[in-house]
Chains A and B, each alone.
Chain A
């Protein structure tokens, strides 16, 4: 299967587009979750440094 055929299959096969759309939203949700957690609590090292002070 050539790259061209894979590309064609990707944009034309029913369902794949939906999976991509859902994946994009899910990935964003995961990233935003960790971003929020990092803003609030920092990472482990930062917390430990903060505790030492």
Chain B
């Protein structure tokens, strides 16, 4: 096969180096993660074949617990990729380029686990098909299925399209990899030749998709929140729930990007490719999101408490001084107080501080999802007089939760060993062809000036 033309990138060697060999450390890490994933599959098998949902702490009236918390969290985490890639792309933020793929990969690998969480939560997962057979558009669940499926599908396409030039680069440069791996690159590259016109069309296509993805990302998490918001339960039935979910999703997603970038930078020695200035740019965004989260929290809780409706106050009381008080105040510390102080006073030019703060944010945001869902169910409208709900997650639920996170990390870790995690063509520092990089025979000579203008104009 003729070799395609590839834009010159000084960081190429560093970015491709993780793909050359799978180390023993990798195998150990993958084995441990796979073992945890397997434990989760076994636990789910027990839940599905032996005990049913009795294996969980779910009961009447607490029908949703850890699994739905995980669903909301994973979908939220998935917003990182679209935010970094699509929204910042439209905003013309050129600094985002090195981290787009790392962020998009979080999206790509989080979404399947979000969808899986719903199926795990169903005692009879086969009944998911009923949504398509008997679905009525009256039901927010159908909106949810439609939006999340479309988002997953579109994210795969968006991710794949921007990956094609780099897969072609792997196809042409990595000749020493196993034959099956090289064959995989050949198939996935779809015959990419690196023509000038291809790059132009790719840019146009991604720009167009970025607009659509931006609309989709707003729709998806709003619709996820409406699964709760369209009920008339206290704590859920508020118009703020959509924007609040969306902000929280982008907040936790962007925090996850910081963690992933720091790990990649350290593990694969990408200090030059992922400069500290990227972390400083993300730090500014995170300060904004932290303050946005505070605004939403105050707006929601002040409105609720000022109205002093009996049902609402029971749920608020559960959070601030009841069964969930410790978790509620811990969430405030983890999501707001400590991270904000770190971002402002310690985060600049310090990756360890940034990682510490963003880990806290993600733990806190998982707690926030839990606190949105469960306290309302323990004090539901009307039923409250009959029963006070209690929920204690079981070991099976915790094991399955751990396995979902392990699965996400496993897929991500494996991906970085087979594909460039930094988009080489988007971060190309020079598009001038060297003597040895002339387009192969049969390909048309490129108008490099145009390509430079197209690519550098972004």
| Chain A residues proximal to chain B, CB less than 8 Å | 10-18, 20-22, 24-25, 28-29, 32, 35-36, 38-40, 42, 46, 50, 53
A22 touches B197 (CB 8 A): no
Report the interface size class on chain B.
Answer: 20 to 34
**B138 interfacial by beta-carbon distance below 8 Å:** yes
Report yes or no: A18 in contact with B190, Cβ–Cβ below 8 A: no
Once the chains are docked, how many angstroms separate the CA of A23 from the CA of B161? Answer: 23
A32 contacts B157, CB within 8 Å? yes
A-B contact pairs, 23 of them (CB 8 A): A11-B137, A11-B138, A14-B135, A15-B133, A16-B137, A17-B142, A18-B132, A18-B134, A20-B137, A21-B135, A21-B142, A21-B149, A22-B132, A25-B146, A28-B150, A32-B154, A35-B157, A35-B161, A36-B161, A38-B205, A39-B161, A40-B192, A42-B198
Closest Cβ–Cβ distance, residue B131 to chain A (whole Å): 6
* Contact between chains at B131 and A53 (CB < 8 Å): no
Q: Which residues of A contact B161 (CB under 8 A)?
A: 35-36, 39
Given the known interface contacts A18-B134, A38-B205, A39-B161, the answer about A50 and B145 at a Cβ–Cβ threshold of 8 Å is: no
Cross-chain contact of A11 among B136, B153, B164, B202 (Cβ < 8 A): B136
Of A10, A17, A50, most B-chain CB atoms within 10 Å: A17
B444–A50 contact, CB under 8 A? yes
- Contact A53-B444, Cβ < 8 Å, known A15-B135, A18-B131, A25-B150: yes
Are B135's CB and A28's CB within 8 A? no
Residues of A within 8 A of B164 (CB): 39-40
Number of A-B residue pairs, CB cutoff 8 Å, is 82
Spell out B's residues near A (CB within 8 Å): 131-139, 142, 145-146, 149-150, 153-154, 157, 161, 164, 190-192, 195, 197-198, 201-202, 205, 209, 444
Residue of A nearest to B145 (CB): A21
Given A25-B150, A25-B153, A36-B157 in contact, is the A18-B133 Cβ separation under 8 Å?
yes
5 smallest CB-CB distances across A and B, nearest first, come from A17-B135, A18-B135, A18-B132, A17-B137, A14-B134
Shortest Cβ gap from A3 to chain B (Å):
16
Identify 20 new A-B residue pairs, CB closer than 8 A, beyond the known A21-B149, A40-B192.
A10-B137, A11-B136, A13-B136, A14-B134, A15-B135, A18-B133, A18-B134, A21-B135, A21-B142, A25-B146, A25-B149, A25-B150, A25-B153, A28-B150, A35-B161, A36-B190, A38-B201, A39-B201, A50-B195, A50-B197
A18 adjacent to B142 (CB under 8 Å): yes
Which listed residue (B134, B145, B205, B444) contacts A35, Cβ 8 A? B205
Neighbour of A40 across the interface among B133, B137, B191, CB < 8 A: B191
Which residues of chain B are within 8 angstroms of A50 by Cβ–Cβ distance? 195, 197, 444
Q: How far is the CB of A39 from chain B (nearest CB, A)?
A: 5
Question: Which residues of the partner chain A approach B150 to less than 8 Å between Cβ atoms?
Answer: 24-25, 28
Q: Which residues of chain B are within 8 angstroms of A10 by Cβ–Cβ distance?
A: 137
Known A32-B157, A50-B444; contact A42-B135, beta-carbon cutoff 8 A: no
A46 to B192, CA, bound (A): 16
Instruction: Give the chain A neighbours of B132 by CB distance below 8 A.
Output: 18, 21-22
CB distance from B450 to the nearest CB of A (A): 13
